[in-house]
């Protein structure tokens, strides 16, 4: 369910601590990029569109708390178009 990198794109390395979380009834896989401190990828496992999610980078490179990551998911979900399951154009 996790998308593969495009042909020619460098593979993204993740730290050894990905985790699944449930936020507002939706299940997510959260991974921190190993070579980019403060950068996270969120895969929406229970969403209506396979492989959909979002990324987040902190400008200070600091690690986010689980509460901060959960809030980022809530902010993302608040912007989703319920008819399509995608962010609006």
- Give me the residue spans of the domains in the chain: 19-79
Looking at the predicted structure, is the pLDDT value of residue 88 above 70? Answer: yes
Q: What is the pLDDT of residue 5?
A: 52
- What does the alpha-carbon distance between residue 36 and residue 21 come to, in Å, rounded to a whole number? 22
The CA dihedral of 10, 12, 33, 57, to the nearest 10 degrees, is 60
Say what percent of the chain tops pLDDT 70: 90
> Hey, which residues does 29 pair with through a beta bridge?
20, 43
Displacement of CA 25 from its chain's centroid (Å): 16
Question: How confident is the model over 75-86, as a mean pLDDT?
Answer: 97
């Amino acid at each position: 369910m996790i998308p593969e990198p495009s042909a020619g794109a460098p593979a993204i390395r993740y730290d050894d601590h990905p985790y699944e979380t449930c936020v507002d009834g939706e299940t997510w896989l959260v991974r921190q990029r190993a070579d980019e401190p403060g950068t996270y990828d969120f895969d929406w496992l229970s969403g209506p569109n396979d492989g959909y999610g979002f990324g987040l980078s902190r400008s200070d490179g600091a690690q986010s708390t689980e509460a901060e990551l959960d809030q980022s998911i809530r902010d993302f979900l608040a912007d989703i178009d319920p008819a399509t399951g995608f962010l609006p154009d």
